[in-house]
Amino acid sequence: MTAFAYGICATRGQRSYQEDAAATWPGESTFGWTNGLLPRSKDSFMAVLADGMGGHAGGARASQTACRAFFEACAVSREDLPDLLSVGLNAANAQIAETVIVNPRLAGMGTTLVGTSFTDRGLEWVSVGDSPLYLLRRGEIALLNEDHSLAPALDRLAEEGSISRDEAKNDPRRHMLRSAITGEQIELIDICKEPLALDSDDIVILASDGIHTIEFDEIVRVGKAYMGDGPEAVAQALIRSVENQRDPFQDNTTVIVVCPAA
């Protein structure tokens, strides 16, 4: 199996609490969870990132619960990819529902989720919400997954001339989600149709939407400048770049950077 290296870094931004959660398997998490040696750890490298909603208690609980349930379901499932990713997603949604039943005060909590698997066949993913999955290849960046916020709809209106680009960019509804993991039926799910083969110098980035503070060109610049030092250096540099914008309303930002190991 192709080996993959990774790095994780996060910032609370200007929030007083952290609603993002991220983990790799095998590897580590941003919330102290480890699951030991898992049956599929020899078959693939997996990474998952979630951006919670619901305030200090609910959002953090939702994102951590989703990441944990995603991996625990994948560990025992006999399904192959991409069905395995759907198993993880459904388990995350079911666990959110169960958590709210046990503790009704958490009603209304939810989370985005982007789950990925890296194998010899390439990259496969499932995602709900607006947490982006990027591919950096030969100096260019591509968004791989669908954006389930209102941003794409507003951008289309701007392209059609119905509203201005500034109106689309500054619309307060821009970050409203059309789909999320809440324990109810999931409205929109993006799951890749076939594996995306990866080149040896590709960089894959899972991120929460706080990364939108920086432009695509800056993400590409950071990837080029720091990839020689490994994905951990890229992850740290991306978060530094976000923090250096000094946005007074900066959201939580978390990144997982994955690349084929040298």
Q: Does some domain include residue 35? A: yes
CATH code where residue 199 lies: 3.60.40.10
For 101-125, what is each residue's pLDDT tens digit? 999 999 999 999 999 999 999 999 9
Q: Does some domain include residue 251? A: yes
C-alpha to C-alpha distance for 161 and 51, rounded to whole angstroms: 32
Half-sphere exposure in the Cβ direction for 245 (13 Å, CA): 21
For 167-221, what is each residue's pLDDT tens digit? 888 888 888 999 999 999 999 999 999 999 999 999 999 999 999 999 999 999 9
Q: Does some domain include residue 116? A: yes
Q: Does some domain include residue 170? A: no
Q: Does some domain include residue 172? A: no
What integer best gives the mean pLDDT of the chain?
Answer: 93
Q: How many domains does the chain have?
A: 1
Q: Does some domain include residue 171? A: no
Please give the residue range of the domain that contains residue 211. Answer: 4-150+179-184+191-260
- What the block records as the tokens of 126 is 């499932």
C-alpha to C-alpha distance for 160 and 190, rounded to whole angstroms: 25
Q: Does some domain include residue 159? A: no
Q: Does some domain include residue 162? A: no
Q: What's the rounded mean pLDDT across residues 31-59?
A: 78
Q: Give how far the C-alpha of residue 138 lies from the chain's centroid of Cα atoms, to the nearest Å.
A: 22
Inter-CA distances, 15 with 18, 19, 20, 56, 180, Å? 7, 9, 11, 10, 21
Q: Any idea which residue has 């503070």 for tokens?
A: 213
Return the pLDDT at 42. 55
